[in-house]
Structure 1
Amino acid sequence: MGRLVDGFGRRFRYLRLSVTEVCNFRCTYCLPDGYKKTGSHAFISPSEAEKVVRAFAELGVGKVRLTGGEPSVRRDLPEIIGRVSTTPGIDKVCITTNGWNLERQIDGWRDAGLTNLNVSIDSLDREAFHRITGHDRLGSVVAGLDRALELGVPAVKVNGVLLRETAQAGFDHFAAFVRDRPVAVRFIELMRTGDNAEFFATNHVSGTVLTDWLAARGWARRERGLDDGPAVEFSHPDYAGRIGLIAPYAPGFCDSCNRLRVTARGQLRLCLFGELGVDLRDLLQADEPERLRARIEAALAGKPAGHRLHEANSGDTRQLAQFGG
């Protein structure tokens, strides 16, 4: 157990497993023209998902996040959640969703073993949400999130991309949102990818606008857990929820990296903004667990110290839905 350590001494306890590249939103910063099919939809099967998760669990991983694209476009998502949740060693099963199917499906996901829920909400202003995502569904998304709280899902979080147009007003809206909801809202700095250079130049704003806003209002930084993602979170005694920041352009961002990615096509990605990947699909289909674990361990020798976003180099990542964000 606990054998996933790279050449920089970073230990990996967290797997992000993409189950599809398909997304039904048209977010301005990711897929403004909507999802375009490239190649076959031969995405990882529930059985393959179980095998890859089992391999990572045997190497010390305890937390798995199912991502996309939008995971809920898969009708077999509850089966995948169930297979992951019953894998020995896995104690956290998470999903990141745009919320399209959340209100209708959260009960089934919870019954299948879901423990953590992340919902993407870039604005709590209905018109802004519609403009950013291409869909007028904010009410349904928030209703689904509230249903998750009702069901007692242990960890419910909101992800919002930090955009110049929504930053300041958005902070006020989200602070009000978490006053009585035990939810963590995390703003993510807009990241440049292969397809969004012009949008990035116009819309990127530093995460310091949020941290300055929080400091001025008495929010205090919280300690980070061992298997937490990259967010720095802040709490306030007058609020049930928390507000956080994911700032990939901040100094030392990659120093505490604790997560690896497997794409919907069965490739191990050592960095979201790296190049190429290590194919695992042949060993998943052949059902060779020992060779699979050995290939995963060997691959860590190639993990870089950090991304190269500061050099406007996003590797071969065209958009975030491609590899699971």
Structure 2
Amino acid sequence: MLQDKFGRRFHYLRLSITDVCNFRCSYCLPDGYQCDSPRDFLELDEITTVVKAFAGLGTSKIRITGGEPSLRKDLPEIIKTCAGTEGIKEVAVTTNGYKLPQMIDAWAEAGLTNLNVSIDSLDPRQFKAITGHDKLQTILQGVDRALALGLKVKINSVLLKPYSEALLGTALDWLKEVPVSLRLIELMQTGDNHDFFNANHVSGLPIKEQLLALGWQQAERKVTAGPAQEFSHPDYAGRIGLIMPYSKDFCSSCNRLRVSATGNLHLCLFAEQGLPLRPLLKEGDVAALQARLQSLMGKKEATHWLHEGFTGATKQLAMLGG
């Protein structure tokens, strides 16, 4: 099992397969994707080596991220590779869902178990204002299809000052009938959004207090779960999760590592730099890669230092998929 010097164990790998995204979300890529580095993304055999190495060290959950992972035509093959690796029990994809109704059946057939869809507003006009695309109804159709296929579905919504109050009210009505888990995520400061962050950051703590006052109860956290504090209510089909990276002791339960689309290990989303793995991936040497991963665990820090304004190498969230 991969373990750091603080005793944290890493059951969960977030694997980016591209940093390209076709949305222009106001908090991430407001000017659209800018190709400022070679797009030499991991090939399928390199991804196979990554997944085998992590699975052999106790990782049981793989989340495939981007950018927008569905922009890779071989995404079904990548899902199949992950799902077919011994030790991997959960395979997830995080997507903006722009072609979800056309794609979700192929992903499910390949072995997908979990789906995260980014929906920052349930109001079509607000959704378009945030993302630059009038695709909300199409994405919701894809969510319905994913649920019909039996997938576990989470909705990712970034809390933004102009929209968060309306989002919660609309979401509560939606969650009465729809069995998804809505993740409300505090906006995080990155290298290029300092002014936007200061103008739009909303704390999740008042929402937590509101949920508790309305009778929502905090659920027990699974060993492979992400960082959300999740809440359920007997009168609702869906759940609500709060991801609050600025809250006390947020990093104490960290159970995830990240590999970038170009083959660098990131010990934290906001680490100062990625640690190169590519030479070992090109060789396909699983044992050597495992030894390298274990040797790097001592470099993982106790916290992300976000509360001190440190954003590391993360210019924007599409670099690593959050």
TM over 0.5: yes
The amino acid across from 1:204 in the alignment is H
Q: SS of the counterpart of 1:225?
A: coil
1:37 aligns with 2:35: yes
1:169 aligns with 2:166: yes
Two-structure CA RMSD over aligned residues (Å): 0.7
Q: Is the Cα contact below 8 Å between 2:232 and 2:240 reproduced in 1?
A: yes
The amino acid across from 2:217 in the alignment is A
Any idea what the Cα deviations from partners look like across 1:109-150, whole Å, max 9, x if unmatched? 000000000000000000000000000000000000000011
Partner of 2:48: 50
Partner of 1:23: 21
Q: SS of the counterpart of 2:88?
A: coil
Any idea what the Cα deviations from partners look like across 1:65-99, whole Å, max 9, x if unmatched? 00000000001100100111100100100000011
Partner of 2:250: 253
CA distance in 2, matches of 1:252, 1:39: 35
CA shift, 1:242, in A, is 0.2
The amino acid across from 1:185 in the alignment is L
Partner of 2:93: 95
The amino acid across from 1:116 in the alignment is N
CA distance in 2, matches of 1:226, 1:44: 28
CA distance in 1, matches of 2:44, 2:68: 16
CA shift, 1:39, in A, is 2.0
CA distance in 1, matches of 2:319, 2:17: 11
The amino acid across from 2:278 in the alignment is R
1:269 aligns with 2:256: no
CA distance in 2, matches of 1:189, 1:206: 6
Partner of 1:313: 310
CA distance in 1, matches of 2:210, 2:8: 32
CA distance in 2, matches of 1:205, 1:225: 26
CA shift, 1:276, in A, is 1.0
The amino acid across from 1:6 in the alignment is D
Partner of 2:320: 323
Partner of 2:184: 187
1:7 aligns with 2:5: yes
Q: SS of the counterpart of 1:161?
A: strand
1:122 aligns with 2:120: yes
The amino acid across from 1:310 in the alignment is H
CA distance in 2, matches of 1:16, 1:323: 8
CA shift, 1:183, in A, is 0.5
Q: Is the Cα contact below 8 Å between 2:45 and 2:284 reproduced in 1?
A: no
Superposed counterparts of 1:67-106, under 5 Å: 67-106=65-104
The amino acid across from 1:297 in the alignment is Q
CA shift, 1:324, in A, is 2.0
Q: SS of the counterpart of 1:89?
A: coil
CA distance in 1, matches of 2:266, 2:223: 21
CA distance in 2, matches of 1:16, 1:73: 17
Q: SS of the counterpart of 1:34?
A: coil
Contiguous gaps of at least 5 residues in structure 1? none
CA distance in 1, matches of 2:84, 2:211: 39
Any idea what the Cα deviations from partners look like across 1:149-175, whole Å, max 9, x if unmatched? 11111x110000011111111111111
The amino acid across from 1:72 in the alignment is S
Any idea what the Cα deviations from partners look like across 1:268-318, whole Å, max 9, x if unmatched? 000001111211111010111111100001010000000111111111110
CA distance in 2, matches of 1:60, 1:136: 41
TM-score when scaled to structure 2?
Answer: 0.99
CA distance in 1, matches of 2:100, 2:229: 26
Contiguous gaps of at least 5 residues in structure 2? none
Q: SS of the counterpart of 1:300?
A: helix
CA distance in 2, matches of 1:265, 1:312: 26
Partner of 1:219: 216
CA distance in 2, matches of 1:39, 1:163: 30
Size of the aligned set, in residue pairs, is 322
CA shift, 1:193, in A, is 0.3
CA distance in 2, matches of 1:168, 1:209: 11
Deviates more, 1:6-15 or 1:176-185: 176-185
The amino acid across from 1:296 in the alignment is L
Q: Percent identity?
A: 55
Any idea what the Cα deviations from partners look like across 1:220-264, whole Å, max 9, x if unmatched? 111100110000011111001101100000000000000000000
